[in-house]
Amino acid sequence: MYCQHLRRAFLNSTRTGAAADSRRRFLPRNFSDSLPKEESIMVGESEKTEITRVLFCGPYFPASHNYTRDYLAKYPFIQVDDVPLSEVPDVIANYHLCVVKNMRLDSNVLSRANRMKLVMQYGVGLEGVDIDAATKCGIKVARIPSDVTGNATSCAEMSIYLMLGLLRKQHELETAVQQKKLGEPIGDTLFGKTVFILGYGNIGIELAKRLKPFGVRIIATKRSWALHSNGGIVHDLVDEKGSHEEIHEFAGKADIVVCCLCMNKETVGIVNNLFVSSMRKGSLLLNIARGGLLDYSAVFDHLKSGHLGGLGIDVAWTEPFDPNDPILKLNNVIITPHVAGVTEHSYRSMAKVVGDVALQLHAGDPLTGIECVN
* Domain-wise residue ranges, the chain: 2-148+344-372, 151-335
Q: How confident is the model at residue 2 (pLDDT cuts 50, 70, 90)?
A: very low
Task: Tell me, yes or no, if the two domains 2-148+344-372 and 151-335 fold the same way.
Answer: yes
In whole angstroms, give the CA distance from residue 127 to residue 105.
10
With CA atoms as reference, report the closest residue to 308 among 197, 166, 155.
166
In the CATH scheme, what architecture does the domain 2-148+344-372 have?
A: 3-Layer(aba) Sandwich (3.40)
Lowest mean pLDDT segment, chosen from 20-34, 191-205, 228-242, 339-353: 20-34
Q: Residue 215 in 3-state DSSP?
A: coil
With CA atoms as reference, report the closest residue to 287 among 238, 333, 345.
333
The percentage of residues in the chain with a pLDDT greater than 90, rounded to a whole number, is 80
With CA atoms as reference, report the closest residue to 98 among 74, 75, 121, 72.
121
Residues 6+ apart with CB under 8 A from 52: 77, 78, 79, 96, 97, 358, 361, 362
**pLDDT for residue 54 is more than 60:** yes
Q: Which residue type occupies 356?
A: D
Q: Averaged over 228-239, what is the pLDDT?
A: 73
- CA dist list (Å): 229 to 199, 233, 353, 372: 17, 10, 23, 19
Lowest mean pLDDT segment, chosen from 30-39, 81-90, 127-136, 325-334: 30-39
Q: Averaged over 108-113, what is the pLDDT?
A: 96
Length of the chain (residues): 374
With CA atoms as reference, report the closest residue to 200 among 166, 233, 235, 174.
235
- CA dist list (Å): 170 to 161, 194, 311, 321: 11, 21, 12, 20
**Could you tell me which residue, 255 or 264, shows the higher pLDDT?**
255
Q: Where are the alpha helices (H) located in the chain, listed in sequence order?
A: 2-11, 13-25, 31-34, 62-71, 88-91, 107-110, 131-136, 151-167, 170-178, 202-211, 231-236, 247-251, 273-278, 296-305, 344-363
In whole angstroms, give the CA distance from residue 154 to residue 340.
6
**pLDDT for residue 307 is more than 70:** yes
**pLDDT for residue 11 is more than 70:** no
Task: Find out whether 151 and 144 touch, Cβ atoms under 8 Å.
Answer: yes
**pLDDT for residue 212 is more than 60:** yes
Q: What average pLDDT does the structure give for the chain?
A: 88
**pLDDT for residue 46 is more than 70:** no
Phi, psi of 230 (to 5 degrees): -105, 45
Order of strands, sheet of 140-143, starting from the edge strand that comes earlier in the sequence? 78-83, 52-57, 97-99, 118-120, 140-143, 371-372
Q: What is the CATH superfamily name and number for domain 151-335?
A: NAD(P)-binding Rossmann-like Domain (3.40.50.720)
Question: Long-range contacts: 227-235, Cβ < 8 Å, 24+?
Answer: 234/205, 234/208
Q: Within 10 A of 200 (CB to CB), how many other CB atoms are there?
A: 27
Q: Averaged over 22-32, what is the pLDDT?
A: 41
Q: Residue 89 in 3-state DSSP?
A: helix
Q: Which helix (H) or strand (E) holds 265?
A: none
In whole angstroms, give the CA distance from residue 296 to residue 305.
14
